[in-house]
A and B are shown apart, each in its own frame.
Chain A
Amino acid sequence: MMLDGVATLGRAALGTCRGAGRLVLFALAGLSHIVRPPFYFRAFFRAMLDIGYFSLPVVALTAVFTGMVLALQSSTGLSRFSADSAIASLVVLSVTRELGPVLAGLMVAGRVGAAMAAEIGTMRVTDQVDALSTLSTNPMKYLVAPRLLAGLIALPLLVVIADILGVLGGFIIATLKLGFNAATYLGNTLTFMQTQDVVSGLVKAAVFGLLISLMGCYHGYNSKGGAQGVGAATTAAVVAASVLILAFDYVLTELFFAR
């Protein structure tokens, strides 16, 4: 009985290792095709549109409301210590370092990661991926590499916009509701914002973008079993990307800011 339990545990551990190994090999293959011709520029620009342009409304709304809530909440907390003047710094640091990249990443994971997994998964179960191979086209090069590159580039661009709108959200609440002077608030924001804060957020965004595309492509590419398989791949892509974003957020924060 106990041996059965150990065996099950062992099988689960081996399965996890195998899965992780497959994922790493898939990622390396996809990344290597980014720098090896032929390049599929149309596929890349389409992926940039899907990930970047069409995600803009949801990311923008998330950023604005997050900035607004942050200003309100920090006002409630900081006023107890007569530290209201720290609201601007708290908003800008929170948005640029953490909330901008993480929330944009989670939103894009839900929107784009799922769509990617569903599209590639459907192509897999309807033989379209095999058809690519028969038409002198490497599916990794045509389907995966452009999406990985687009994820890597598009999410930092989205986060630049999210950072600006997040700070703007805080600014709106601080000036219109909390009675801050606009020039003072902006001055505080610019004083406390450092290059490292923004750069660390953008690096995180690039990593998150890559993770979202990787999870979408990997789960879609390996889906099987018809509609149910595609549905499972879509769910797995979103869940895996979301968890990895949070896990890598911690790792990157340690790398950037741990003393």
Chain B
Amino acid sequence: MTTVPKIRLRGVCKSFGDKLVLDGVDLDVMPGTSMVVIGGSGSGKSVLLKCILGLIEPDAGSIEIDGQNVLAMDRPAREAARARIGMLFQNGALFDSLPVWENVAFGLLAQRKIARAAAKAKAVEVLGQVGLAGSVGDLWPAELSGGMQKRVALARAIAATPEILFFDEPTTGLDPIMGAVIDGLIVDCVKRLGSTAIAITHDMLSARRIGDQAAMIHKGRIVWQSDAYGLMESGNPMVDQFTHGRREGPIQMELRK
């Protein structure tokens, strides 16, 4: 088994004005692993993903994909590295002005320059993989329920068979059954593609279903990392307080008095 992590972060820092969001994040994600990053609201989870994706430029540190520091790459190389990543956004982020099939095939059309007819056929095939009928392809995103939108967003993320998949709060806003369905689809997709995945969530059930590995981020730092199986009995006071949702503990919510 290779020892080079698929994704390696060292000392990643990011501030917005005087607010320090990432404070020297170190994280290794091995190939084929599903890493779940948990943490409270505003702990820097989404910023972390956006830094790896290149949507936000970190102030310091290094981000390596397959041993290559993406922050040192020129623009075309970074765009090529980004093309290997699929992303499921928290609210789906489907393009309102395009029908569902074109949303799913957007990356294929952009990257591979395949014909529209072939792209539509591929989109229908991928929609089937996330449990949606081909006829859904001709609908508009606004015509879909929240769960269906998430599935379409998942289909879009996996359509170009990416090596790396990111999931930002994949079950937020869904009922428990639909949440379980989406988690199941995510696990299936990651296994079928053999991708490396990072999911960020504060849904503990979802975290245990999706993740092989888990890490907790607090105040911009990774404070714990281990197998996802041990998430609920980590022995780490911060993780235990978070996973069990206790008011009392080392994590103090900043409430305005």
Binding site for B on A (CB under 8 A): 119, 122-123, 126-128, 130-131, 133-137
Contact = CB atoms under 8 A, between A and B. Distances in A.
B214 interface: no
A126 B83 contact: no
Contacts, number: 47
Nearest to B108: A135
A187 B87 CA distance: 66
Nearest to A130: B55
A44 B95 CA distance: 17
Contacts of B107: 135-136
Q: Which one of A130, A134, A136 has the highest number of Cβ atoms from chain B below 10 Å of its Cβ?
A: A134
Given A126-B91, A127-B90, A128-B95, A134 B110 contact: no
Nearest to B106: A135
Interface residues of B, number: 23
A130 B93 contact: yes
A126 B89 CA distance: 9
A138 to B, nearest CB: 8
Contacts of B111: 135-136
Contacts of B50: 130
Given A135-B106, A135-B156, A137-B110, A130 B89 contact: yes
Given A119-B97, A127-B89, A127-B91, A133 B110 contact: no
Contacts of B95: 123, 128, 131
B175 interface: no
A127 B96 CA distance: 12
Contacts of A130: 50, 53, 55, 89, 93
A137 B82 CA distance: 10
